[in-house]
Amino acid sequence: MTGLLGKIFNKSTIKFVAALSIPALLIYFWYYSNEQARIEMESYRQEQKQNPLQDKVTIDNYQLKEVDDGNHVRWQLIAKSGTMHAATKDVNLEKVMVEYFDGPKLKMRLSAPSGLANESTRKIRLDANNQARVIAEGEEGKGRMEASKVELTKKNQFEATGGVNIDMPGVAKVTGNHAVGEFGKGGIQKLRIIGNTHSVVTM
């Protein structure tokens, strides 16, 4: 019996069995790894369904502002709501107001039914709708502007399009398709009107 066992379990047989077991183990681990990956992927998909990644966030009473070196507010934006797109930092605005300041003093206020702001570039676009236009009003009667769209950029500059109407008390009333300028201490300044321009002097 001992001799028979010795023949069965001699060195050559053990080497042969070991050689056969290596590919079998490799195949087993390959299937095992694939199955584990499949299980993890399925678990990830289920987690995504239960807790979807948010690419949009809506904030009530949304605010954005810019301050100078002395920590004084240059301008501030306030909207009833803002929906931020995480990838682009664009914020869709509803019922929006933008105020420009000269130190503590308010010098210009703009209002619009809707708009778009970018938190990175700080560029702002204000849009009209069928019920209301974009309106810019200077304090102490220093001018009023209406338009279908107003884009605000750095250094208080603006670009207005779509049936632009500007009223500068004691100076003139001007209409046109397109206007560029800036909001300064004296209200609307460095104004240029382009396209179908019509003006009435009111001095």
**Rounded Cα gap, residues 203 and 148, in angstroms:** 27
Confidence of residue 52 (pLDDT cuts 50, 70, 90): low
Q: Residue 8: what residue type?
A: I
Looking at the whole model, is its pTM more than 0.85?
Answer: no
> 57, exposed or middle or buried, with CB in 10 Å at 0-12, 13-18, 19+?
exposed
Other CB atoms within 10 Å distance of the CB of residue 47: 10
Number of helices (H) and strands (E), helices first, in the chain? Answer: 2, 12
What 3 state SS string does 100-111 have?
EEECCEEEEEEE
Q: How confident is the model at residue 7 (pLDDT cuts 50, 70, 90)?
A: low
Higher pLDDT, residue 43 or 114? 114
Record the tokens describing residue 5, joined without a space: 């066992």
